[in-house]
Amino acid sequence: MFVATLLTDPASPCLDRTTVESLRNAWGGSDTRWLEPGVAAEFRVASEPSNRWQVWEDLQTLEVDLVVQPEPGRRKKLLLADMDSTMIRQECIDELADEAGVGDYVAGITRRAMNGELNFESALRERVSLLKGLPEAVIERVFETRIRYMPGGRELVQTMKANGARAALVSGGFTAFTWRVAEGLGFDEHQANTLHIEDGLLTGTVAEPILGREAKLAALEEITARIGITVEEAMAVGDGANDLGMLKRAGAGVALHAKPVVAAECDIRINHGDLTALLFVQGYSRDEFVA
């Protein structure tokens, strides 16, 4: 048995009953269950529809996301999340670079790295080198004045934890930010790269080995083994090429507002919903969310 979930942005609900019922009838689905009126609904189908991706493309024009997945085991026991442009709206290194006067140049490198056009580790070393001499105090100022959480993040983490799951933040960014985000949203643990600082100034170097694509995949395998679950019982979410390893290996890999090269390799693609979409696709209704 499979479940088809239709959802959209809770900030501008546009999922209408006609759209849901038309698809349910076409696919011979079960009765519709509304997870949140105007935002998310689901129904069961006996098998995966052959025209799934064509329907997905058609619904994108209506700003509606569609996820079709096997029903068994869809509620996960681990959330493994990227940070930059996933749990927060910004790329931290781009914001630091802007403070250093090289924002546009670094942002260009970041875009290419996230698109998979550059080696992640080399690109990170180059970008960090341009931060040399930046006062450590800038990190706190950037976090307080520039960094904003992605909508739905707190509900995602707290709801999964309330239902027995563990939450881990695994970032190719920096521990100077992940500990703050992890604390703010309630993650159980976090991993990231460490910026070198001497005499209150960034040295322009980062601790080795750099946490990139392979390290994120290793984190998925290590954490699941440590807490005694399989990788199929984990949900991973990210947006960049360095997330693909964990996205493709986890039981549910979610490409959230992801780069095209990333979304193309994931079965769960969220382009319009916020982070609460990850709860809807697990079958949680709005009244089950924990704030």
- Active-site positions read 82, 84
Determine contact, residues 162/188, Cβ cutoff 8 Å: no
| Pairing between β-strand 201-206 and β-strand 234-238 as defined by DSSP bridges | unpaired
Structure tokens, 76: 């996960």
* Integer CA distances (angstroms), 159 to 85, 88, 156, 260, 261, in order: 21, 18, 5, 29, 30
Q: Which residues contact 168 (CB under 8 A, 6 or more apart)?
A: 78, 79, 80, 81, 187, 188, 189, 190, 191, 219, 223
Structure tokens, 120: 């992640």
Rg, C-alpha atoms of the chain? 20
- Distance CA(65)–CA(140), nearest Å, equals 36
Neighbours of 263 (CB within 10 A): 17
Indicate the residue type of 19. T
Angle between helices 137-145 and 175-185 (to 10 degrees): 40
